[in-house]
Structure 1
Amino acid sequence: MLAVAGASGGAVALSGPTLVQRLGLTQAEAAEAPPAPPAVLGPLPANAPRPTTAGLSQTLDGAADAMPGTFTGVVIDPSTGNTLWQHTPEKALVPGSTGKLLTVSAALLTLNPTDTLVTRVVQGSQPGTVVLVGGGDPTLTTLPPGQNSVYPGAPRMSDLAAAVRKAVPGPITRVLVDTSRYKGPSMAEGWDPADVAAGFITPIEPVMVDGGRIDPTEQDGPRVDDPALAAGRALAQDLGADPKNVAEGTAQPGAKSLAAVHSLPITDLVEQLLRASDNVLAEILAREVAIARGGQPTFDGAAQQTLAALRQAGFDPTGAVLHDGSGLSTEDRVPARLLGSLLGAAAAPVEGPDGTEFLRPVLSGLPVAGGDGTLEDRFGRSGPSGPGRGVVRAKTGTLTGVSSLAGVVTDADGRLLVFALMSNGVNPSSIRPKLDAMAALLSGCGCR
């Protein structure tokens, strides 16, 4: 199964390195070179023993019963889709950022994976005026060539401005910003306005630079509270117009296109947002799902269309309540069962025309325990979670009193398992190590 996952882009880190070739060394040099290291990692065996419900209960029940606060969890075999273990599965809890799994799954089910988000500049109705038209891309960066923002491969404002200058023979005196692609409030129910300055979010508008960050290189650095106008000011500065003269406006129907830049493909954006748990990218993709499905590009419309896309694809969203696409809202509720079923589908073998290989970026975007993303500083080498280091890949979720962990793990027999663990009502600093340790238990047992 994992050979299939690797072949279709699902980076579950399970296929081994090839032996290093001689790289043009001479015969003498080759004789003196150290022996090539043996391959250690390889594809998982297709016939790996399945853990049993009894074995998993014996391993996990004690840890689940000892969890403080309200806890729920599931373990699923993605090769069969069967639930092998569950604890209080009827509970739907605040998911935190594991709620992003619903958003990215809906995006991959709805949007063309090779599509990009486009930021355009068109001619204004007045001489010397141009209109910056938002197409949803928050990754557009103000950094010059040679410098990378938190979004690798992002389009650059300098390229957009250069193309505009080439297309407009005379001076440009004013920049307007068209945000008409999205509607409704720019902050969701359950969001704390202080989270803008804290760096977790910015008002959701269809055009911005660097995700609204003040420092394009700082993932969770302070953000602006007017991202669309900030993008307009950045363009004005590059065009030699007065940034103080930037205002909102609407492009005229049929206005002449002057320039455009494109984001990376949707699949790349999905991986980026999962690895870094990027709230803004998640909200943008949720709005784009709503637009593609004919819904309203608002928080409510995006939530409705996200759940509708999952339901149409055969998932059961019963119990899920969404108020945003990022999981930042304290009003969201998601059952662990739904998180598990989405991850199970992403990890399932491809079978016939209805295979779910298009969900593979959900796996390849998951942070690696002790390796990268939001799991980089978790699963230390020592302690109860140590066995899961480098073996667990999972999406994290953290809010005040909220901790969750949902992903994939390989057990001691080489069987790939999916898990979703959720806790509410306990300080994350005390509960996260317990969730990590529980995931590590799966990596160390055959559970038969």
Structure 2
Amino acid sequence: MLATVLVVVLAAVGLAVVRPGPVAGWLGGETAATSASAQPPEPDPAAVLAGPDANAPIPSADGVRAALDPLVRAAALGDRVNVSVADVTTGNALYGAGQDAPTVPASVTKLATAVTVLAARGPAYRIPTRAVAGATPGEVVIVGGGDPTLAVDKNGFYPGAARLDDLAAQVRKALGGTAPTKVTVDSSLFSGPVYEPGWDADIPTGGFGAAITALMTDGARRDPEEARRNSEATNHAAERVPQPDLMAGRQFARLLGLSGDADVKRGKAPAASGASAAAGAPTPGTELGKVESLPMVRLVDIMISDSDNVIAETLARQVALARNKPASFAGGAAATDAVIGELGLPADEISLADGSGLSRTNRISPSLLTDLITLAGNGSHPELAAIFGGLPVGGWSGTLDERYQAAVTKAGAGVVRAKTGTLTGVNAIAGLVTTADGRLLTFAVLTDQAPPDTLDATRQALDRITSALAGCGCR
């Protein structure tokens, strides 16, 4: 029987029309209202994965094969197309073609990151950014906790994010009569390289990736206000700063009244000693203030709906921290693998180098993706159902906004809800679809040898596969 939690989630999906997704209102609803007022309301779509019919007939494996076999062989998909289709209620496989084969997943990797961080941290977890007293009077150490959405002030890129100006106000109050003299940045929580070696050469400069540091503001965007103005465009690339932690430290120093050219350097926060201090001066290591990120459920929602690579990489590191592994690319990948195993899924069918899917060395099997989605929807782990809120809807939102428009794919509009992935030669889609009979299925279609210069044709070939599932009973 399909879990009540999935019915509730999908029903919410059918009603919500404000991005970044319906789960934005689950925790911290006041910021969801702020986001809604900043843009005109979107029109109601056609039925979007309304609560599934528990009595709907299950497609037969033969019926699904008859519908998909001709479509899977489309030339636009290339020489390697791996597919998995399963029934969400029962978990039974309905179709497989290379379903257990390790395949380059591109941004579909974010589904694994989402499931594992929700399992490891929980939906309500918030990432802290702290300020502590430094070793010398007036020194303030800002300690990054890995919140990629941290804003400088109310003009930040992510609505409702924690803010440095709030942290600065706490620090000034805690210091009392002691004037701030310098700011030190402690971004040591994250280790290893700031760029994954398997990323394409243009990712650090192309605007879709950034240096991954434990302290940053606005996802390392150089101009968050301009990026926000352009956020409705299909291309979400934005110029990123090369040293996000030092940039955040300089911004914080200005908020504390120090010169904008203050000599901000990296260092380590002193441990709290508990020793007595001079009158009016806090002892080194004393916490002077703390702000916290949006709840994890909302960070996951934004990561999936906007395919935000920087959020994905920081969330992978949260999985690492929760499992006592280094908060690095390698540590995040190892921790993701470990949590997959803890959830009872085949960890040997996933091999990651990052949490965003930008690396071409990532491998995930389609069947593991459908297993992840089924697990999130079968009620055994209700905290995982948050992954559904941010999934783009066919013909309506996110990366699927302009897809499912052609006559051959119209059946998928409004009833396919999925995460997409794209790298040169790699195209993937994984998510949920409701059949014409009302049965909820999960699917993953991954192709990593697509012909060059056929992106539109390849995407339409993928959409035809999922639309075929939407338009048939497949019995």
| Structure 2 residue 259 is the aligned partner of structure 1 residue 252 | no
Question: Which one of 281, 300, 306 corresponds to residue 270 of structure 1?
Answer: 300
| Structure 2 residue 468 is the aligned partner of structure 1 residue 441 | yes
Question: Which one of 156, 173, 182 corresponds to residue 166 of structure 1?
Answer: 173
Residue equivalent to 2:214: 206
Kept in 2: contact 1:3–1:43 (CA 8 A): no
CA distance in 1, matches of 2:171, 2:402: 44
Kept in 2: contact 1:12–1:363 (CA 8 A): no
Q: Cα distance 1:190–1:68, how it changes in 2: closer, same or farther (>3 A)?
A: same
| Amino acid aligned to 1:81 | G
CA distance in 2, matches of 1:230, 1:92: 39
CA distance in 2, matches of 1:16, 1:398: 27
Per-residue CA deviations over 1:377-399 (Å, capped at 9, x if unaligned) read: 2222x332222111110001011
CA distance in 2, matches of 1:335, 1:441: 22
> Structure 2 unaligned runs (5+)?
18-43, 273-284
Question: Which one of 229, 241, 244 corresponds to residue 258 of structure 2?
Answer: 241
Aligned residues: 419
Q: Cα distance 1:49–1:231, how it changes in 2: closer, same or farther (>3 A)?
A: same
| Structure 2 residue 386 is the aligned partner of structure 1 residue 322 | no
Kept in 2: contact 1:323–1:331 (CA 8 A): yes
What is the 5 A alignment of 1:319-398? Answer: 319-348=349-378, 350=379, 355-380=380-405, 382-398=406-422
Deviation at 1:228, TM superposition (A): 0.5
Task: Provide the secondary structure at the position in 1 that maps to 2:350.
Answer: coil
Residue equivalent to 1:185: 193
CA distance in 2, matches of 1:347, 1:201: 30
Residue equivalent to 1:27: none
Q: Cα distance 1:411–1:40, how it changes in 2: closer, same or farther (>3 A)?
A: closer
Task: Provide the secondary structure at the position in 1 that maps to 2:386.
Answer: helix
| Structure 2 residue 249 is the aligned partner of structure 1 residue 232 | yes
Q: TM-score, normalised by structure 2?
A: 0.84
> Structure 1 unaligned runs (5+)?
18-36
Deviation at 1:400, TM superposition (A): 1.1
Q: Cα distance 1:10–1:264, how it changes in 2: closer, same or farther (>3 A)?
A: farther
Task: Provide the secondary structure at the position in 1 that maps to 2:422.
Answer: strand
Q: TM-score, normalised by structure 1?
A: 0.89
Deviation at 1:142, TM superposition (A): 2.2
CA distance in 1, matches of 2:16, 2:335: 39
Question: Which one of 423, 426, 429 corresponds to residue 456 of structure 2?
Answer: 429
| Amino acid aligned to 1:434 | A
RMSD: 2.1
Q: Which moved more, 1:4-13 or 1:134-143?
A: 4-13
Q: Cα distance 1:446–1:118, how it changes in 2: closer, same or farther (>3 A)?
A: same
Deviation at 1:267, TM superposition (A): 1.1
CA distance in 1, matches of 2:110, 2:464: 23
Question: Which one of 229, 235, 239 corresponds to residue 222 of structure 1?
Answer: 239
Q: Cα distance 1:40–1:268, how it changes in 2: closer, same or farther (>3 A)?
A: closer
Per-residue CA deviations over 1:251-288 (Å, capped at 9, x if unaligned) read: 00010111111111111111110111111111111111
Task: Provide the secondary structure at the position in 1 that maps to 2:13.
Answer: coil
Residue equivalent to 1:99: 109
| Structure 2 residue 89 is the aligned partner of structure 1 residue 59 | no
Residue equivalent to 1:74: 84
CA distance in 2, matches of 1:70, 1:12: 36
Residue equivalent to 2:58: 50
Per-residue CA deviations over 1:26-78 (Å, capped at 9, x if unaligned) read: xxxxxxxxxxx9x9785332110100011101100000122323111111001
CA distance in 2, matches of 1:277, 1:378: 16
Kept in 1: contact 2:195–2:204 (CA 8 A): no
Residue equivalent to 2:329: 299
CA distance in 1, matches of 2:152, 2:402: 29
| Amino acid aligned to 1:175 | V
How many percent of aligned residue pairs carry the same amino acid?
41
Question: Which one of 205, 218, 221 corresponds to residue 197 of structure 1?
Answer: 205
Q: Cα distance 1:308–1:131, how it changes in 2: closer, same or farther (>3 A)?
A: same
